[in-house]
Structure 1
Amino acid sequence: MGGDLEFAVLARVRSTMDFLSIRLYKACKGFGTDEECICRVLGCLSNGEVRELHDRYNELYAEEEEPFDHFETLIKSELSGSLLDAVLHLLESDPPKSHWDDMDTYEPNAEVEADEFREHLETNFDEEQAMFLGNSDLDGPLRLVNADKHFINEGYDYDLYVDHDMHEDKDVAYLMESTPDDETAAQELIKGLKGMLSDTQGEEAKLAAAVEGSMAAYYDQARDMRFKDHHLNQLLTDNDGMLEFCAGRDADAVHEAVEGWGTDEDKLIRILCSLTKRQLRRVDEIYSERYGKTLREVTDGELGGIFEGSFKYFMKCAMTPPAELDAELLRESMKGLGTNDSLLCEVVCTRSNKDLRAAKELFAEAEGKSVEEWVEGDTSGFYTTFLLRCLRADRQEGFSDEKLAQRQAGEMQAAG
């Protein structure tokens, strides 16, 4: 095996961060720098993923000579200007964090909500239904009776299984089977019945005490769950509200950076390269609503100078939605004369099933032909067969089957 097929297979079997680390190393090694490869690799990743790649690269190439032994040193030696600033922002910047409401109010609000919920449970406890459930097989989800309307989130159901016998009334029929002929026998019968009644009353008292104690414990547990639920939802609501505020603010800041004569380069890089992919997409949506253009259109059309060449390509990778970008990269890898096999393998062999299916759908809509048809026209031999197999987007994901892996490794070794 060699050439494009070997590259494709290695891209498929290596972990994503290992493969991308190797891509970066090769993009910088030797004469010249493949800036497009660097832009594509880093621009497609989130801030956190770039930091993960940074750590993995340093592990893989720790024994190399400078500057190849350290990710950041390598990037600084190979890139410059706005592109370097943008990449460093990906490494060093965290997304904006703050709070929409005063956090001091969260716990008191949650305490009030939890107390009201506990009171609701005590007031609306349905003893008859509880007794019915208690005498049923607990082999499914258990819910709090008459409490659903107070829950915001699902997730408080537990599959419970009982390992004890259900309560059964004691058999006293045998005491009534005989008709005593004399007073002594009658007295013995009455004594037996009284003893049975006393035992039953004692058991009933014990059960009542146990129920009373357990109910209090469950009320406390339900109150605690409600407190955590309300507190969590305050944080989620707070986070969503603040992110929405930040997205609107950043959209306006981008507009301020590009309007009029010249461009505030530092401000633009600081805004766009410190956001997560999700935040960047929301800024793009708000910018489009307010100013009639997408961020991609701004960087492609209105901005010249600093956004020419590699940096412009980097911003395209950073701001384009993943499926749309992958479809564009697939087209870029096969359009015109010749095929960019490394780019083709980078997309086809490293994306998840979900990502590949989304990219294939957008590609077919834009080109009128499937990715598979383009691949068959641009490649040949086992290389084509392998790429088409990857494009099925049906490989096992989420867990590993050790026995299957060993068997397949043996088959590959036997095949040479």
Structure 2
Amino acid sequence: MENNKIITVIVDHLKAGYYESEIKDILKDENISENDFKNLFNQSKEIVNNDNIIKLAKKNKLKFFGYLSITVLTLLIFLFYLPKQIESPSTFYSIIGSAIICVFAFISFLYYKTWELEFVKEHEAPNINYSFLVIMILPCAILYFIISSVFENVADNMLKENQIEVVGKVISGGETEIQNRRGNIKISTIVVEFTTEEGKKVIASEEVDTYEFQGFYLNQEVNLIYSKTNPENINFLLTDADISKFKNSKEKEITPNDLIKLMSLNTKDIKTELNKISYGWEFNNQEMLWVNKRKNLGISINSTTVNYIGQNFSTADYFLKKNGFKRIDKIETSSLSRLDANKLYENNDYEATIKALPQGNGKEPLAITTITKK
């Protein structure tokens, strides 16, 4: 038998797990000398070793891309898929997601370039020491906050997109104190019950600031919004910041220019414009007045005149002057506080008056500010 064929036989048997002595017995009929067998066996062994190195290199490369794929897939799941499915801020999923991603990212890093032949010849595969995972604590913490932020932002965006406004009732609440190295952190939670559009009763909770928590009481009615796709995803409409965030309202003070603009709008556009300024405006058909109960303000409008009711009488003068109106009446300064006297103002295009509206019980009177086209 030719040497090449003998080497092929030896290689096949080595790969099959035969020992040198067993292979020698198999080839005894070939009358191979001891030295020739040794040489042929060593050549065969080198071929097998090279084949094993190539296989290990491929295996290491496959593992690297496998672990890297799991890392990327998990990252995509926790950043894009789960937040939409859960539609709620989630500490649990943020911890689980950041832990899984960090572990597989760590293993992927260890397998990087382990498919190079020099590495395989010396080490075969990386020695994974999981005690080194401690170096992933900081990246894992950063990733936790990123995932947590994504869950919260997606929940807020979906709530904003699918919101339905209802009135809920406070049924319980509490404060949890968490200790850390910097001290104690208080987390305040309010639990409310409300009924959805479909008539389903829902109990949901919302975290609030500690200073806000003190203002809640049992059976209190609160305005809130919930998501059609997940009714437990809620937000209270209590602060200007919340209202501005979810209602696209600027939550700013009305100016004379805002009032003037309303004169040229139809009823539908008036409501839209008013709620852009501050949320909560509705038209009262009985009083023929636009009313904002949340702000305790009222406005009546026609094509030439607008009446603004509700601001304090003492601030109404500044309200007009800071927006370009000038006093034109001749009332003496000492008598400006008279409640039966109208204060008169004008600019190039409009006239304005301020009249006091007494409230009684010693309260400061409100102002009725009227702006009319010249």
- Normalised to the residue count of structure 2, the TM-score between the two structures is 0.20
Report the structure number with the largest CA radius of gyration. 2
| Higher helix proportion (structure 1 or 2) | 1
| Higher strand proportion (structure 1 or 2) | 2
